[in-house]
Amino acid sequence: MEYLFLSLALLIIPSALAGLSAAPYVPTKKRDVARFLKLAEISSKGGSPPKADTAPRLPASGGGGKKEKIVYDLGCGDGRLLVAAAKNGAKAIGYEMSLLNYLFCLLFRRGIKVKLRDFFNADFCDADVAYMFLSQKAHNKMGEILARQMKKGSRIICYVWPIVGMAAQRIDKEAGRPDMYLYVIN
Ligand SMILES: C[S@@+](CC[C@H](N)C(=O)[O-])C[C@H]1O[C@@H](n2cnc3c(N)ncnc32)[C@H](O)[C@@H]1O
């Protein structure tokens, strides 16, 4: 019985801490994953047909032989955006504090790398794209950190909440859907 409680606590406590840290687990809607791929300018290098639901494969935007993009999801949840990015030729890396989400990605997701770590202490200097679906406060805090760390021309994409004080290059709007914000580092 004690082991059961201990195991449950080990699974539940990190998720609760993650909720307090930056945001509880709420996934990006499946039909908004393609909007992320477009704003991130991630497209398939191959000619395979689109994958269903969470991993749309976009048409190649020309100029083959491009270097693979490095994409981070800060608090990657079930890894759905990373899987979509990886299927479209990106190197996809996630940070996740919830042990449950981390184990889910480890057991059921292929082609992505997930780190059981707090993204507030991570380094994103090699990122081409960083995605955030967190609280407004966490977006603002990480926005400042990412703007310092990320290279010129790299992209930050935010779902639902903007980064206050940073000018969005584009706000992707769709009727009845949350806004998606694109920031380009200059
Ligand atoms: C709103 S969910 C977004 C999940 C995923 N990015 C998506 O869009 O489907 C936020 C995620 O961030 C994780 N999280 C919160 N604070 C974190 C932190 N400091 N470091 C790593 N992950 C964190 C939570 O466990 C949760 O899975």
Region 14-30: mean pLDDT is 91
Neighbours of 33 (CB within 10 A): 19
Global pTM reads 0.89
Average pLDDT in the 51-78 region?
A: 70
170 to each of 9, 54, 183, how far by Cα in Å? 42, 23, 7
Going along the chain from its start, the domains and CATH numbers come out as 2-184 (3.40.50.150)
The position carrying tokens 């997701």 is 109
Kindly state the average pLDDT of the residues 126-132: 98
CA of 16 from ligand 1 middle (Å) equals 11
Say yes or no: CB of residue 54 within 6 Å of ligand 1.
Answer: no
Ligand 1 contact, 154 CB (< 6 A): no
Q: Mean pLDDT, to the nearest integer, of 94-121?
A: 97
Quick: pLDDT tens for 73-103. Answer: 999 999 999 999 999 999 999 999 999 999 9
Q: What angle do CA 142, 147, 153 make, to 5 degrees?
A: 130
Averaged confidence pLDDT in the chain: 90
136: its two tokens: 């407004």
Collapsing DSSP states into helix, strand and coil, what is residue 74?
strand
Pseudo-torsion of CA 157, 159, 163, 164, nearest 10°? Answer: 150
Contact, 29 vs 177, CB < 8 A? yes
Q: Does the pLDDT at position 135 exceed 90?
A: yes
Confidence of residue 34 (pLDDT cuts 50, 70, 90): very high
Is 59 or 44 the better-scoring residue by pLDDT? 44
The CB of 98 under 6 Å from ligand 1? The reply is yes
Q: Flag the least confident range among 8-17, 38-47, 65-74, 126-135.
A: 38-47
Closest CA to 154 of 119, 132, 135, 182: 182
pLDDT at 126: 98
| Cα distances (angstroms) measured from residue 58 to each of 47, 61, 68, 77 | 10, 8, 15, 23
Is any atom of ligand 1 closer than 6 Å to the C-beta of 26?
A: yes
Tell me the average pLDDT across 138-144: 98
Substitution site in 13, 37, 96 for ligand 1 pocket (most atoms within 8 Å of beta carbon): 96
Instruction: Give me the residue label for tokens 């990657």.
Output: 76
Q: Is 88 in the pocket of ligand 1 (CB under 6 A)?
A: no
Closest-lying ligand 1 atom to the alpha carbon of residue 14: 25
